[in-house]
Structure 1
Amino acid sequence: MGLEKEKLPLVIAISGVSGSGKTTITKYLRDKLHNSKILSFDDYDFAGPPDIIDWVDKGANYNEWNMDPLIQDIESLFTEPLNYILLDYPFAYKHIKTSNLIDVTVFIDTPLDVALARRIIRDFKNSPSENILIDLERYLSAGRRGYLEMIKTIKPNSDIIVDGTLEIHEIAYHLYNEILRWRKD
């Protein structure tokens, strides 16, 4: 690439289960960290396993995901005069190609019941109760295994683990200070 590492933006991957607060925290940090930009996993249509639960049951090989569009966007941001690139990204360092671009990973450690409640409030605000019940049945029959996979593999693979039950401003304050410390190292 030819760019000196000191001149590149600090790339911070923020992960956690669905409903942990990744997107909220990422946006909050973007507003606090001078000269930063967000890339969000959810904005891409990645080629990945057709059945996520089957993928989890077979050992969750994160390298099966084609992350090339995200990688290209991160690399293109390296040419911009940024201080930080914030990734709303669930894999931490587990995907080999993206791990080479990430400087620090954060895991928002939110209890599954809290994350599930937040997700239901977020996703089903104007939905009939039948949709909520269907989603809860899916969570119990299969989806919970995906959440547990993240706790088992992504959490211990992260540099910073923050309590997801704290208020947003408390999480952001803690992460802001940790990120500034990483920037100095």
Structure 2
Amino acid sequence: MSDWLIVGISGVTCSGKTTLSKEINAKLTNSVVISQDDYFLPTDSPRHTFIPELNHINMDIISSLDMEKMHNDILQVIQDFETGNGDGNCRTTRRVLIVEGFLIFSYKPISDLTNLKYFITLDKDECWKRRELRTYLPPDVPGYYEKIVWPEFLKHKSEIINDSSLSEVKFIDGSRSKKDIFDEVYSAIKCLMCKECSECTQSL
């Protein structure tokens, strides 16, 4: 596990988590991404919570996801992924696993694995402007954002703020430019991924 740098990128819906993760993955030759969106339960799963007044399932809570499988897959990647050649002047580089998703810090076995923790936020109006342009499966129904998505986000954010075990979570304003956000996160990763690199003792 010491050869791995595991980066958790979480945050509100449509905040740019997936885009950021893909950009970092593309930049680092010895990295891999695991996305929480790949672990939603099938829509007909009896484990889902149904919302009668909306005639819709709640896709914004931890029980809508197979987190045990996600955790097992992360452990499998850690076990199987071959060491890369690294880059730059570092003699030894750490492999980087990027774990992204809106509720990754709600599942302690995964949260505890992460060395860097980021949570991207947006205000309510900006979040809605972005979300209304997307299509989900199942599709959002009228009222779902107001009654479920935003309240669940606020609840999750409050839980993170009040959880002392998550004091290392770095909050990022998602309205900042994508480049600024990328530069901040990528610089921190580059600093920590090099075990014996003199540049890591300097400000990046």
- State the TM-score, normalized to the length of structure 2: 0.68
Name the one with the larger helix percent: 1
Contact kept? 1:63, 1:95, Cα under 8 Å: no
Q: Which whole-Å CA distance do the structure 2 matches of 1:141 and 1:65 have between them?
A: 20
Deviation digits for residues 20-61 of structure 1 (CA, Å, limit 9, x no counterpart): 1111111111112231111111111348963388xxxxxx99
Aligned residues: 167
Instruction: Specify the code of the residue in structure 2 equivalent to 1:181.
Output: C
Find the counterpart in structure 2 of residue 113 from structure 1.
125
Change (3 A) 1:110 1:176: same
Q: Structure 2: how far apart are the matches of 1:167 and 1:18?
A: 17
Structure 1's unaligned 5+ residue stretches are: 54-59, 125-130
Root-mean-square deviation (Å) = 3.2
CA shift in 2, pair 1:62/1:43, >3 Å: closer
* Worse-superposed segment, 42-51 or 23-32: 42-51
| Partners of 2:39 and 2:66 within 8 A in 1 | no
- What is residue 170 of structure 1 aligned with on the other side? 180
User: Aligned partners of 1:80 and 1:19: how far apart in 2?
Assistant: 29
**Alpha carbons 1:109, 1:164 under 8 Å: kept:** yes
Q: Does the 8 Å contact 1:107/1:161 carry over to 2?
A: yes
The partner residue of 2:20 within 5, 22, 25 is 25
For 2:156, the equivalent position in structure 1 comes to 150
Tell me which amino acid in the other structure corresponds to 1:95. Y
**Residue of structure 2 aligned with 1:50, choices 43, 48, 51:** 48
1:127: which partner in 2? none
Aligned to 2:74: 74
CA–CA distance in structure 2, aligned partners of residues 164 and 48 of structure 1? 34
Q: Which has the larger radius of gyration?
A: 2
SS at 1:114's partner residue? Answer: helix
Q: Is the 8 A contact 1:13 1:87 kept in 2?
A: yes
Given that 2:8 and 2:111 are in contact with CA atoms closer than 8 Å, whether structure 1 keeps it comes out as no
Report the Cα offset of residue 110 of structure 1. Answer: 1.7
2:111 to 99, 103, 128: 99
Is the 2:10–2:105 contact (alpha carbons within 8 Å) kept by the matching residues of 1?
Answer: no
Give the Å deviation of 1:151.
Answer: 2.3
SS of match in other structure, 1:166:
coil
Counterpart for residue 201 of structure 2? none
Q: What residue is the counterpart of 1:128 in the other structure? A: none
CA distance in 2 between partners of 1:67 and 1:21 (Å): 21
Query: Mean Cα displacement is larger for which, 78-87 or 163-172?
Result: 78-87
Specify whether residues 114 and 155 from structure 1 end up closer, same or farther in structure 2 by C-alpha distance, changes over 3 A only.
Answer: farther
TM-score normalised by the chain length of structure 1: 0.74
Identical columns (%)? 23
**AA of the residue aligned to 1:81:** E
| Alpha-carbon shift at residue 172 of structure 1 (Å) | 0.6
